[in-house]
Chain A
């Protein structure tokens, strides 16, 4: 236990260092802003992946929390209801609480119907945001008026490509580190027990609804962090940020990257953005290309890129890792 915690600490420090090196060596602003976007979506995908990994549920509506946090920020700042620093924390707290309450209802819906339900709820907010011109600016979107300083740092310094990248990177690493710690705790084991066999978990005295809803809330909050980073990066939010296709893209990143590893979805997001950039002229057909990629990955490598990498580099460690995992005899493993 202690060794795994110190390993998480070590990995976190190493990851932070890598971000610093990238920010210092990459000088092209285009490359930096591409990477920044990739990292923001890596956080987004991590949120969606968390839900799939710990609850076994695929959400087709997480764009709700991505765009929703941006809108919440924009509205609070517009109304000058509180300082921006407080608004950031308030937005995340509100997402956590609301998602938990919604989660109490919707995690009871079984299997694929859950995905359809999340899709519908997400789309409900997309339509509302598109229609409510007075509050959200409708289809034109809304600008987010950041104050001149944030946590004492001038906003102009934050918005520089290199510092923006570093900020997003640090946010991603911190989120990952916290999640890794949390999932190694008792809470992590409980949610895995519930995911693998809800009935059995209930028999041994675990209340299954609250842990499931808590994971839903946690995954929503992580997605909210991504939404806030995006709102900071572009100072703009539009209904596009709420659209269900965005939720689908995030889910695609999760699957292509591999959701069994905590960092799999992040890999998927980075690969997605790099591929989209490299495809260049062919990018008009990115939907078909990613559709084919998605189907190929699901059919031939259900554990995604992360799974393939693990097999490549950690091939021999596999048995040891499996024995550390909870009993999987009755597990209803997704994608297997």
Chain B
């Protein structure tokens, strides 16, 4: 019993990692807290639903994030770039407006009823680990989370573009002066962030049902994660995502009445102790 709960905590934590690394990347380069990130996740999931029903899940897994990446590049080019001199708060409210538009769009196109996506056949089985039957699809979700975490870390740490991204998120002006085209870089990173939101949506679709409320649930958990982890810190987000996944899963079993509140209580205590979050140094 405990093993299954821990496992489900890992699965949800992995999903949050994919979500929050997108949020953290966008914040890192554009200093924008994207309130529409949950809606992008939802849009990704619904796009994935439509694509999967016309072809198959694997096509959706690639195509939906790719569409979201295009959306993100446009969002950066015609939104964030034009607003970069404004107060961060006004940009937050623009993303809030975007959230409303996307929610309305999704409800208009796909309706308000719950939809579901079948897990791909290849993963529609279960695997026995330590004497417990675990659904293969969920193991796949953990693998996606791990790959995203590892891939992003290695990319940021060892590639040339990763170096530029790290430089630009610390000091965009100096980075631009040294010949890095920070506008293109930002568009790419926002595109990547949105693609990750879409990927999280497609990945979540087979084990969480698609509904108009799916964005609100996940964005609030994601905010808890990035606030606990420290805004813009990938490592902080990874740790906090895993911790929150565990807390959600275990709390739901052992203290069901109190479980929904637990993440927020933890967050409040962490912020009292460290207002900038676990791994956050800048404001």
Contact = CB atoms under 8 A, between A and B. Distances in A.
Interface of A: 58, 105-106, 108-113, 115-117, 119-121, 123-124, 127-128, 131-132, 244-245, 248, 251-252, 255, 285-288, 290-295, 298-299, 302, 332-336
Given A287-B104, A288-B108, A298-B90, 4 more contacts: A245-B216, A291-B97, A291-B101, A294-B96
Contact of A255 (B33, B93, B257, B265): B93
B98 A117 contact: no
Chain A interface, >50% SS class: helix
A287 B100 contact: yes
A131 B90 CA distance: 34
Interface of B: 33, 82-83, 86-90, 92-94, 96-101, 103-105, 108, 216, 220, 223-224, 226-227, 231, 257, 260-261, 263-265, 267-268, 271-272, 275-277, 283
A228 to B, nearest CB: 25
B220 A123 contact: yes
Q: Which of A105, A245, A248, A288 has the most CB of B within 10 A?
A: A288
B102 to A, nearest CB: 8
Contacts of B272: 105
Contacts of B94: 294-295, 298-299
B25 to A, nearest CB: 16
A121 B268 contact: yes
A108 B273 CA distance: 11
A334 B87 contact: yes
B125 to A, nearest CB: 35
Q: Which of B86, B104, B224 has the most CB of A within 10 A?
A: B104
Contacts of A108: 275
A59 to B, nearest CB: 11
Contacts of B88: 111-112
B260 to A, nearest CB: 4
Given A105-B271, A255-B93, A335-B90, A111 B260 contact: no
Given A109-B275, A113-B227, A128 B260 contact: yes
Nearest to A128: B261
Contacts of A109: 271, 275
A123 B262 CA distance: 12
Contacts of A121: 264, 268
13 contacts: A105-B268, A105-B271, A105-B272, A113-B276, A116-B33, A120-B224, A124-B264, A245-B216, A288-B104, A291-B97, A299-B82, A302-B86, A336-B86
Contacts of B108: 285, 288
Contact of A299 (B83, B260, B275): B83
Contacts of A123: 220, 264
Contacts of B216: 244-245
Contacts of B276: 110, 113
Contact of A124 (B33, B87, B260, B275): B260
A294 B97 contact: yes
A116 B226 contact: yes
A242 to B, nearest CB: 13
B283 A58 contact: no
